């Protein structure tokens, strides 16, 4: 069955669906209240659920034989990613941004076969950024701008010292992972550490991955997010010449639901960059 799936048709379907989701997101900005999930910084709104319902319904109507995995309908220990063709969806990635009207929320619509991301659409309706990619066919911004938008300066190698790196604090604010992250941030930033150019937190894994795909960030390190946060961005990044490896050392081919990732742009020095980044991690992330 997988061999007969028209990935261009799926991409076009998801782009159209992302626009519908975007309208629902922007029309509800500032209108919905929010609830806590695991703790007081893990937030969800009624709009997250409404967008997932819209996306799941339309996917099921058009592709009734495909599986669906979405952030809001996921049941820990019950929902399992299988080898079947599967839509992997975060209805609103960057929910905290959405609540605060910080314009970096998006809908993240991925499609995987045999657990490998093959189509990705990420749409930020506030800034009108539509990123889309198909495995083997490149990735583009707003249909025509081929990614990456920015190539590294000629002759320059990607190193930790010249990198702008995406990071997120995440929702765990104590324990091993919080220590590993904060100790690593300090080492990467410090004058007697790697002294990277800087960090940016866009508040959305999908937006961070698209920024790496565009060449605006050099890397993005994440521990704790889920397949729906990264599936779409994964295709967009790898089709722009970048790669996704494990966020702990030594994992060159992570699974899409591994939860610990390092996304790196393409270009000279990127493999050494990955090794150097892994060497700078203070401990090991756990999930």
Residue 151 has what DSSP assignment?
P
Please select the residue that binds ligand LIP; options are 22, 215, 224, 247, rule is CB under 6 A.
224
Report the run of H or E that residue 27 belongs to, with start and end.
helix 7-27
Closest of 265, 264, 254, 263 to residue 287, by C-alpha: 254
Site mask for ligand LIP (CB under 6 A), range 12-51, x = bound:
----------------------------------------
Spatial contact of 139 and 235, defined as CB atoms under 8 Å apart: yes
d(CA 144, CA 128): 14
d(CA 221, CA 201): 10
Site for ligand LIP in 52-81 (CB under 6 A): 71
Looking at beta carbons only, is 218 or 229 nearer to ligand LIP? 229
CA distance readout (Å), 189 to 65, 140, 181, 193, 219: 48, 32, 12, 7, 14
Tell whether residue 92 is among the known ligand binding residues.
yes
205 binds ligand LIP (CB under 6 A): yes
Distance of CA 271 to the CA centre of its chain: 20
Q: Is 93 a catalytic residue?
A: yes
171 binds ligand LIP (CB under 6 A): yes
Site mask for ligand LIP (CB under 6 A), range 124-153, x = bound:
------------------------------
Q: 170: how many CB neighbours lie within 10 A of its CB?
A: 17
Q: How far is the CB of 122 from ligand LIP (least distance, A)?
A: 11
For the stretch 5-10, contacts whose Cβ atoms lie closer than 8 Å and that sit 24 or more positions apart, written own/partner, are: 5/85, 5/113, 7/111, 7/118, 7/119, 7/134, 7/135, 7/137, 8/134, 8/137, 10/63, 10/111, 10/119
Closest of 10, 143, 233, 207 to residue 243, by C-alpha: 233
Please select the residue that binds ligand LIP; options are 106, 148, 152, 168, rule is CB under 6 A.
168
Site for ligand LIP in 94-113 (CB under 6 A): 94-95
Please select the residue that binds ligand LIP; options are 52, 218, 229, 239, rule is CB under 6 A.
229
93 binds ligand LIP (CB under 6 A): yes
Spatial contact of 263 and 208, defined as CB atoms under 8 Å apart: yes
Instruction: Tell me how many residues contact ligand LIP (CB under 6 A).
Output: 13
Report the run of H or E that residue 57 belongs to, with start and end.
helix 46-62
Tell whether residue 179 is among the known ligand binding residues.
no
Spatial contact of 107 and 51, defined as CB atoms under 8 Å apart: yes
Q: Is 71 a catalytic residue?
A: yes
Q: How far is the CB of 229 from ligand LIP (least distance, A)?
A: 5
Q: How far is the CB of 108 from ligand LIP (least distance, A)?
A: 8
Looking at beta carbons only, is 208 or 270 nearer to ligand LIP? 208
Looking at beta carbons only, is 71 or 218 nearer to ligand LIP? 71
Q: Is 183 a catalytic residue?
A: no
Tell whether residue 6 is among the known ligand binding residues.
no
Q: Is 92 a catalytic residue?
A: yes
Binding footprint of ligand LIP on the chain (CB under 6 A): 71, 90, 93-95, 168, 170-171, 204-205, 224-225, 229
Residue numbers annotated as active site: 71, 90, 92-93, 95, 229
Residues annotated within a binding site for Mg(2+): 71, 90, 92-93, 229
């Amino acid at each position: 069955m997988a061999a007969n799936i028209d990935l261009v048709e799926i991409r076009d379907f998801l782009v159209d669906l992302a626009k519908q989701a975007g309208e629902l997101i922007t029309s509800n900005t500032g209108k919905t209240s929010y609830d806590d999930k695991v703790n007081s910084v893990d937030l969800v709104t009624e709009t997250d659920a409404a967008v997932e319902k819209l996306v799941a319904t339309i996917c099921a109507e058009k592709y009734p034989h495909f599986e669906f995995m979405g952030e809001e309908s996921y049941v820990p220990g019950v929902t399992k990613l299988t080898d079947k063709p599967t839509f992997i969806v975060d209805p609103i990635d960057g929910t905290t941004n959405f609540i605060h009207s910080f314009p970096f929320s998006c809908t993240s619509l991925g499609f995987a076969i045999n657990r490998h991301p093959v189509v990705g659409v990420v749409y930020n309706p506030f800034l009108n950024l539509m990123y889309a990619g198909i495995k083997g066919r490149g990735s583009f911004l707003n249909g025509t701008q081929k990614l990456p938008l920015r190539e590294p300066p000629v002759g320059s190698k990607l190193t930790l010292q010249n990198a702008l790196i995406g990071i997120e604090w995440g929702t765990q604010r104590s324990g091993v992972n919080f220590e590993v992250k904060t100790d690593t941030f300090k080492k990467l930033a410090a004058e007697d550490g790697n002294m990277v150019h800087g960090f940016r937190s866009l508040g959305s894994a999908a937006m961070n991955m698209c920024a790496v795909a565009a060449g605006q960030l050099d890397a993005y390190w994440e521990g704790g997010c889920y397949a729906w946060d990264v599936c779409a961005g994964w295709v967009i990044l790898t089709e722009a010449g970048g790669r996704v490896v494990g966020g702990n050392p030594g994992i060159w081919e992570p699974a899409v639901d591994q939860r610990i990732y390092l996304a790196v742009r393409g270009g000279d020095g990127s493999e050494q960059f990955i090794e150097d980044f892994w060497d700078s991690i203070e401990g090991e992330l756990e999930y």
